[in-house]
Amino acid sequence: MKQFQIPEFYRSSIISTVKAKRRLEDPRKKDFSPTLLNFGRLRLLIARHFGFCYGVENAIEIAYRALSENPGKRIFLLSQMIHNPDVNDDLLANGIQFLQDTMGKQLIPFETLAKSDIVLIPAFGTTIEIENRLIAQGIDVQQYNTTCPFVEKVWNRSEKLGELSHTIIIHGKYNHEETRATFSRSTQNGKALILKDLKEAKLLAEYVKGSKSSEDFYIDFAGKYSEGFDVLKDLSKLGVVNQTTMLATETQEITDYLREIMIEKFGLADIKNHMADTRDTLCYATNDNQSSTLGLLEESADFGIVVGGYNSSNTMHLVEILEKKYPVFFVRGATELNSKTEVTHFNIHSKIIEKTLDFIPSKESVTIAITSGASCPDASVDQVIKRLLEIFEVEESIEQILN
């Protein structure tokens, strides 16, 4: 796989050693069990895969190249490069400005841009409408386009589905930048509809089967369907793609469920004419990270720590997976581990930052499962590990354990 040129301060010493060792032991990535770092009183279970993915490293490399190649020029990002505060704060510190926030709210008017300005497309991509507007203003949107190749793969698949008259079902969060971009691209060649989860897929099934009035569809899915959507016509051929940071298992569950509904309505013999096979759109990094998090569940732990940006969709899904078995603390970094008696963390359900006291159990040996999102630098996980070693007053050196 390509080696990207990213700043050294994103690299790590602990995690890079762990990952290098696992690559030698398991080059084909068949083993999703975690790595154990045993310090006696503290046992750390490190997930097999986590951290910067191909798309994120590609985006960061392009962003820093834009900085080095354009001294003195104004440089803008459409919105956050990725959903990680450390990365975005560093880009801001280097002079890059954000044109929009993550919800699409304008921070700097497009009309203030000049042809000489540099505009970077973030890893999530952008909509056709925004891209065309920038082009009309004379902005080169391709020179520093950091759109993830796996997001573009979803777009290409959507284009083919539309050309074959399939309605494109997008499994994603309606307001997420990537989903907005995929929806925009999908509507260029066909009809599109966004589903957040299996519950919405089951609601859609009522309209596929004709058991709900088509007029209600436009209320139930308000703002989530493409212009001119015809319930009676556009639900006879479906193809499911996804926001690449969603739970891969949930995307597959939605696809399998809708396939059964289409078989029920049109029959198994004719299913290929009504339901597309879109398994090839699932992101490898999302699959690997989520499979590795499931691998953590095979082990016993007192609690888990997930490191990443609080607005990171893929990181939230890792929290969802782990909390099925034990308490999980979602932290931005080492500074949230205030002491042995207090941790500051994000509650993905209430969407608020909380403080939990006495989060470390009083026992002879404590086991902690650790992973991070695809937009989180390995250096941040290193810092969390070092902070835990301080809290537990571990005397062994990390080098001894790694060897």
Please say whether the beta carbons of 303 and 368 come within 8 A. Answer: yes
Convert 208-236 to b/e letters by CB count within 10 Å (16 or more is b).
beeebeeeebeeebeebbbeebebeebbe
Query: Which of 285, 286, 293 minimizes the C-alpha distance to 369?
Result: 293
Rg (CA), the chain: 23
Please say whether the beta carbons of 140 and 167 come within 8 A. Answer: no
pLDDT over 90 at 5, yes or no: no
Question: What amino acid is encoded at 108 in this protein?
Answer: I
pLDDT tens profile 56-84:
999 999 999 999 999 999 999 999 888 88
| Residue-level pLDDT at 8 | 85
Domain at 54-136: CATH architecture: 3-Layer(aba) Sandwich (3.40)
Strand partners, 119: 76
pLDDT tens profile 226-240:
999 999 999 999 999
pLDDT tens profile 158-180:
999 999 999 999 999 999 999 99
| Residue-level pLDDT at 1 | 58
Rounded to whole angstroms, the Cα distance separating 242 from 254 reads 10
Strand partners, 212: none
pLDDT tens profile 352-383:
999 999 999 999 999 999 999 999 999 999 99
Question: What amino acid is encoded at 193 in this protein?
Answer: L
| CATH topology match: 8-53+285-402 vs 158-279 | yes
- Kindly indicate the confidence band of residue 40, based on its pLDDT and cuts at 50, 70 and 90: very high
Q: HEC string of the chain?
A: CCCCCCCHHHCCCHHHHHHHHHHHHCCCCCCCCCEEEECCCEEEEECCCCCCCHHHHHHHHHHHHHHHHCCCCCEEECCCCCCCHHHHHHHHHCCCEECECCCCCECCCHHHCCCCCEEEECCCCCCHHHHHHHHHCCCCCCCCECCCHHHHHHHHHHHHHHHCCCEEEEECCCCCHHHHHHHHHHCCCCCEEEECCHHHHHHHHHHHCCCCCHHHHHHHCCCCECCCCCHHHHCCCEEEEECCCCCHHHHHHHHHHHHHHHHHHHCHHHHHHCECCCHHHCCHHHHHHHHHHHHHHCCCCCEEEEECCCCCHHHHHHHHHHCCCCCEEEECCHHHCCECCEEEEEECCCCEEEEEECCCCCCCCEEEEEEECCCCCHHHHHHHHHHHHHHCCCCCCHHHHHC
pLDDT tens profile 186-201:
999 899 999 999 999 9
Query: Which of 332, 298, 330, 205 minimizes the C-alpha distance to 257?
Result: 205
Rounded to whole angstroms, the Cα distance separating 95 from 55 reads 22
Rounded to whole angstroms, the Cα distance separating 81 from 88 reads 6
Burial of 324 from C-beta contacts in 10 A (0-12 / 13-18 / 19+) = exposed
The sign of the torsion formed by the CA atoms of 104, 141, 184, 186 equals: negative
pLDDT over 90 at 48, yes or no: yes
Tell which CATH classification among 3.40.50, 1.20.120, 3.40.1010, 3.30.70 matches the domain 158-279. Answer: 3.40.1010
Written as six digits, the tokens of 307 are 């490191």
The packing angle between helices 248-266 and 284-297, to 10°, is 110
pLDDT tens profile 105-157:
999 999 999 999 999 999 999 999 999 999 999 999 999 999 999 999 999 99
Q: Poorest-confidence range of 280-289, 329-338, 353-362, 389-398?
A: 280-289
Task: Catalogue the active-site residues.
Answer: 178
| Residue-level pLDDT at 274 | 96
Q: Does domain 8-53+285-402 have CATH number 3.40.1080.10?
A: no
Domain locations in the chain as residue ranges: 8-53+285-402, 54-136, 158-279
DSSP 294-351: HHHHTS--SEEEEES-TT-HHHHHHHHHHTTTS-EEEESSGGG--BTTEEEEEETTTT
